């Protein structure tokens, strides 16, 4: 059954004629295209005019993987922060290396434009969300990859290539600083002869012996830490170097120091005697103080020992008595424990005081022996002095050659080991990139084209509606 013509639910005036709509759109196509082109041009022109005032971002990514970074520590236990990448000294050095303006104002602007953000993988975010949903507290996550961004106005006097190069140089300088600190040898090693420049032969004993002890201790520790490591450049292990260092001390070093001591060698013997006399006087004063301290400590120790014996007798007599009352604090036992603790402390103090006194006496005896030897050497004939000095100079030259070879092998071996340990300690996971101006311009133009085209299409539709109503 069909409805009669006068009973249709919608009147003819409200019906949408698709064919006529398409025809009107085609008829207004020129207007739509024109407005779209106008929007594209206006948007591009506005963006181009304002582009110099807009900021552009240059970004790179850095990964930290050295031991301790997850605890916020460098390998030497000092505090680590990813923000160290933008420290003032690194910014200044990077600008200078790239030949850019390195004034305080420029450094401040560049440093303020740098930002560092940790990158958290999506898998970690999902896992933490699951833990929160399950009522668990997610553990603290320390990212190992960071985004280093430089955001500056486009009209800032740095081209995109310069910005990318500057960002790469900042990371490179930070890597070099890390290498100098943790890959190179400790600063105090390998400079014994530099510190002896202009020093008297009398001072060689102190400096060279201390250097030898430091080297042997360092190599002994490294022999335990890296037993299986062998340097590809020197083909030596730390155990090999440790043996060489011991031979260096036993043969070369002892020979030179023995000549100095035997012959009382000095650049200025009279001045050396004056220095020794002053040092002997200092040791004598120190010995007097040490003896007095030792005497006081021993007296206190004797008194503490007598008191402890009395307290021990008192505690035994109290424990022998029968007690039926409840739990009480035994004051005698407490006093005994306190006295015992004080006694142990005084024993340690007495031992330290005695060792200090014996050490001073030993140093004083050795120094007195050297002084007597030097004084007797002054009275010897000139030819004997010249022969002794010639022999010493030859031994010293041989010592320095062996020392330089040892330190060179040690330096290369240690660098190879540290480079192996920290090969990927700091690495770039994404090269520096700068947002493209033309890409942004194209996006602005596309947005303008869309707005203009939509406006033209709307006007065409309004024209259809208006024509229908008329």
Instruction: Label residue 316 by pLDDT band (50, 70, 90).
Output: very low
For residues 206 and 252, which has the higher predicted lDDT (pLDDT)?
Answer: 252
Mean pLDDT is lowest, of 213-222, 282-291, 322-331, 417-426, for 322-331
Mean pLDDT is lowest, of 323-332, 338-347, 352-361, 365-374, for 323-332
Is the four-CA dihedral 409, 411, 417, 423 of positive or negative sign?
A: negative
Rounded Cα–Cα distance for residues 364 and 276 (Å): 10
Q: Does the pLDDT value for residue 337 go beyond 50?
A: no
Rounded Cα–Cα distance for residues 17 and 127 (Å): 55
Angle of the 331-378 helix axis to the 269-320 helix axis, nearest 10:
160
Q: What are phi and psi of 426, to 5 degrees?
A: -140, 115
Q: 77: alpha, beta or left, given left = phi > 0 and alpha = psi -120 to 50?
A: left
Mean pLDDT is lowest, of 77-91, 248-262, 270-284, 328-342, for 328-342
Rounded Cα–Cα distance for residues 301 and 138 (Å): 57
Residue 142 pLDDT? 82
Mean pLDDT is lowest, of 121-125, 178-182, 449-453, for 449-453
For residues 262 and 248, which has the higher predicted lDDT (pLDDT)?
Answer: 248
Q: Does the pLDDT value for residue 340 go beyond 70?
A: no
Residue 327 pLDDT? 41
**Which tens digits make up the pLDDT trace of 158-178?**
888 888 899 999 999 998 888
Rounded Cα–Cα distance for residues 60 and 431 (Å): 5
* Cα distance between the two ends of the chain: 36
Instruction: Label residue 328 by pLDDT band (50, 70, 90).
Output: very low
Q: Does the pLDDT value for residue 296 go beyond 50?
A: yes
Residue 47 pLDDT? 66
Q: What is the DSSP string of 95-127?
A: HHHTT----HHHHHHHHHHEEEEE---HHHHHH
Q: What are phi and psi of 120, to 5 degrees?
A: -105, 120
Q: Does the pLDDT value for residue 465 go beyond 50?
A: no
For residues 400 and 197, which has the higher predicted lDDT (pLDDT)?
Answer: 400
The percent of residues in the chain predicted with pLDDT above 70, rounded, is: 80
State the residue for tokens 């007798």.
Answer: 313
Residue 437 pLDDT? 62
The percent of residues in the chain predicted with pLDDT above 90, rounded, is: 15
**Average pLDDT score, the chain:** 79
**Which tens digits make up the pLDDT trace of 116-137?**
998 888 888 888 888 888 888 8
Q: Does the pLDDT value for residue 20 go beyond 50?
A: yes
For residues 211 and 373, which has the higher predicted lDDT (pLDDT)?
Answer: 211
For residues 411 and 261, which has the higher predicted lDDT (pLDDT)?
Answer: 411
Q: What is the DSSP string of 395-462?
A: HHHHHHHHHHHHHHHHHHHHHHHHHHHTTTSEEEEEEEEE--HHHHHHHHHHHHHHHHHHHHHHHHHH
Residue 310 pLDDT? 56
Fold for domain 54-187+423-436?
Answer: Bacterial polysaccharide co-polymerase-like (3.30.1890)
Residue 232 pLDDT? 92
Instruction: Label residue 455 by pLDDT band (50, 70, 90).
Output: confident
Instruction: Return the structure tokens found at 52.
Output: 């110099």
Rounded Cα–Cα distance for residues 248 and 242 (Å): 10
Residue 409 pLDDT? 92
**Which tens digits make up the pLDDT trace of 212-260?**
888 999 899 999 988 889 999 999 999 999 999 998 888 888 888 888 8
Which own/partner pairs from 50-56 qualify as long-range (CB within 8 Å, at least 24 positions apart)?
A: 51/154, 51/437, 51/440, 51/441, 52/153, 52/154, 52/155, 53/153, 53/154, 53/155, 54/153, 54/154, 55/151, 55/152, 55/153, 55/154, 56/151, 56/152, 56/153, 56/154, 56/160, 56/434, 56/435, 56/437
Rounded Cα–Cα distance for residues 33 and 26 (Å): 11
Measured in whole angstroms, the distance separating CA 98 from the mean position of its chain's CA atoms is 24
For residues 78 and 463, which has the higher predicted lDDT (pLDDT)?
Answer: 78
Instruction: Label residue 290 by pLDDT band (50, 70, 90).
Output: confident
Q: Does the pLDDT value for residue 466 go beyond 80?
A: no
Instruction: Label residue 343 by pLDDT band (50, 70, 90).
Output: low
- Average pLDDT score over residue span 88-99: 91
Give the residue extent of every domain in the chain: 16-50+438-465, 54-187+423-436, 192-316+332-421
36-40, 315-319, 329-333, 359-363, range with greatest mean pLDDT:
359-363
Which contiguous run of DSSP H or E holds residue 346?
helix 331-378
Check: CB of residue 304 under 8 Å from CB of residue 339.
Answer: yes
Beta-sheet pairing, 426-434 with 55-64: antiparallel
């Amino acid at each position: 059954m069909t409805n009669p013509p006068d009973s249709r639910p919608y009147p003819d005036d409200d019906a949408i004629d698709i064919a006529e709509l398409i025809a009107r759109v085609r008829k207004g196509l020129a207007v739509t295209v024109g407005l779209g082109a106008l929007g594209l041009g206006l948007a591009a022109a506005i963006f181009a005019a304002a582009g110099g005032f807009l900021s552009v971002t240059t970004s790179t990514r850095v990964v930290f993987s050295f031991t301790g970074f997850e605890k916020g520590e460098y390998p030497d236990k000092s505090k680590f922060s990813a923000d160290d990448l933008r420290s003032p000294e690194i910014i200044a050095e990077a600008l200078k290396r790239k030949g850019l303006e390195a004034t305080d104002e420029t450094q401040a602007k560049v440093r303020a434009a740098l930002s560092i953000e940790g990158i958290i993988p999506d898998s970690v975010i999902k896992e933490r969300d699951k833990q929160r949903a399950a009522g668990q507290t997610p553990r603290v996550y320390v990212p190992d990859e960071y985004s280093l961004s430089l955001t500056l106005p486009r009209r800032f006097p740095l081209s995109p290539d310069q910005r990318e190069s500057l960002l790469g140089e900042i990371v490179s300088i930070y890597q070099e600083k890390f290498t100098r600190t943790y890959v190179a040898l400790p600063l105090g090693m390998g400079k014994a002869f530099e510190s002896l420049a202009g020093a008297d032969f009398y001072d060689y004993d102190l400096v060279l012996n201390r250097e030898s002890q430091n080297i042997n201790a360092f190599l002994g520790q490294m022999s335990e830490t890296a037993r299986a490591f062998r340097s590809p450049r020197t083909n030596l292990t730390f155990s090999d170097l440790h043996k060489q260092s011991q031979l260096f001390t036993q043969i070369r070093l002892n020979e030179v120091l023995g000549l100095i001591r035997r012959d009382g060698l000095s650049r200025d013997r009279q001045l050396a005697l004056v220095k020794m006399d002053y040092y002997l006087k200092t040791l004598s004063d120190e010995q007097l103080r040490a003896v007095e301290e030792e005497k006081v400590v021993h007296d206190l120790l004797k008194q503490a020992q007598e008191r402890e014996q009395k307290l021990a007798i008192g505690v035994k007599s109290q424990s022998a008595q029968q007690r039926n009352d409840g739990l009480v604090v035994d004051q005698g036992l407490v006093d005994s424990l306190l006295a015992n603790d004080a006694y142990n402390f005084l024993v340690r103090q007495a031992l330290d005081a005695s060792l200090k006194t014996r050490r001073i006496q030993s140093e004083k005896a050795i120094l007195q022996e050297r002084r007597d030897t030097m004084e007797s050497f002054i009275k010897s004939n000139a030819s004997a002095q010249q022969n002794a000095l010639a022999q010493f100079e030859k031994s010293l030259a041989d010592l320095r050659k062996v020392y330089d070879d040892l330190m060179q092998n040690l330096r290369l071996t240690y660098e190879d080991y540290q480079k192996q340990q920290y090969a990927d300690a700091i690495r770039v996971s994404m090269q520096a990139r700068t947002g493209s101006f033309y890409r942004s311009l194209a996006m602005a133009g596309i947005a303008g084209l869309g707005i203009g085209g939509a406006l033209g299409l709307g006007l065409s539709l309004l024209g259809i509606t208006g024509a229908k109503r008329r």
